[in-house]
Structure 1
Amino acid sequence: MTSDSDEALSWDGDDGAESTLRAPKGSANEAPGSGVRSHDAALPDGWNAVGRGSEGVGHVEAGDGVDAPDGEEAAPLGAALLLTLGVVGGVYLLYSIGWVVGGLRLKPLANLIVADAMYVPWFILAVAAPALWFLAVWVLTRGRAGWTRIALLLVGVVLLVPWPFVTVGVIGS
């Protein structure tokens, strides 16, 4: 029976296990005084490496690799928040459809006043506005409280109403 601590990392009869775990003597990746590679290992604050080669292990800086502000990870969304986001997202999708239908109904009337070159870009922007609002709120409120995200989405529900569809409708007057 061997007392090698790396035995747990190999199978019985695996001849190449030790060569993969140990660097050649004198190599650059070898921790001083041991036969174990240090690689570029790093531990988060509060964790300490022990054993052979532990002096070559560094610590991760607070905030490295974390997208949330203040070094905290973003909390997962709750069920109520996900349900509300789905409903408001569906309303925004219906708003986009309403802008398409209402805008196409107003196009003949708008052609009496403005040219297509002026009407089409604003029509496209009006159709894309609900999706752009949803995306902007999603990105800009990341890492904040859920109620701020919901409040801003509800402000968009009020501001982005497809008025041509509401006033004229599908059939028109």
Structure 2
Amino acid sequence: MVRGNDDDALAWGGDDDPTLDVGATTDPDAAPAALPEGYSAVGKGSENVGRIRQDGSVAMPGERAPMGNALLITLGIIGGIYLLYAIGWLIGGLRLQGQAAYLVTDVMYQGSFWLAVLAPPLWFATVFLLTIGSKPWVRVVWLVAGVALLLPWPFVLIGAVGR
């Protein structure tokens, strides 16, 4: 197809470059601006440009990818450990209740007891909420650190039956 002379004055070499189409449309029903891999948008509106995935779908900025199966299983296992830790703090703390009466008042013991029981679920929820926008490995590292820090020592040392 041969263009006319009027069209030649409005054309420039490289007009088909997809990076030039950033923010060109004002139609709200139009498809979102997206670039294939290897291209980067610059200028006004470049932060709203998505990426075209290999399967043809468009990933927009701020759009989170769903969690993978391995991460879901890891979160389930660590969540189960935290639940067992809360139960361990409950059992271990109840076993120590009679012996702690010689060291601290009952009010102080009850406050610290319930704080210890609630610490594992609170740590899990806090890490989960504060690491929503970060990489999955960051969330797993903080959860594993909590597994090491929140070990229910009364249950580990005395056990469920005691001596």
TM-score range, shorter chain: 0.5 to 0.7
1:154 deviation in Å? 0.5
Query: What is the count of residue pairs matched by the alignment?
Result: 115
Matched, 1:149 2:139: yes
Kindly indicate whether residue 161 of structure 2 is the aligned counterpart of residue 171 of structure 1.
yes
**TM-score, normalised to structure 2's length?**
0.64
Aligned residues with identical type, % of pairs: 50
Shift of 1:71: 4.0
Residues 113-164 of structure 1 deviation map (CA, whole Å, 9 limit, x = unaligned): 1111101111111001000110111011112111111111000000000000
1:97 corresponds in structure 2 to 87
Deviation at 1:42, TM superposition (A): 3.8
TM-score (norm 1): 0.61
Distance between the aligned counterparts of 1:97 and 1:132, measured in 2?
Answer: 14
Out of 122, 127, 131, which is 1:132 matched to? 122
Give the Cα–Cα distance (whole angstroms) in 2 for the partners of residues 82 and 45 of structure 1: 30
Counterpart CA distance in 2 for 1:110 and 1:71 is 54
Q: Distance in 1 between matches of 2:48 and 2:96?
A: 56
Report the secondary structure of 1:113's partner residue: coil
**Any gaps of 5 or more consecutive residues in structure 1?**
1-40, 48-60, 64-69
Q: CA RMSD in A?
A: 2.4
Find the counterpart in structure 2 of residue 109 from structure 1: 99
Counterpart in the other structure of 2:33: 46
Moved over 2 A (4+): 41-47
In structure 1, how many angstroms separate the alpha carbons of the residues matched to 2:114 and 2:61?
39
Q: Please, which runs of 5 or more residues in structure 2 have no aligned partner? A: 1-26, 35-46, 50-59
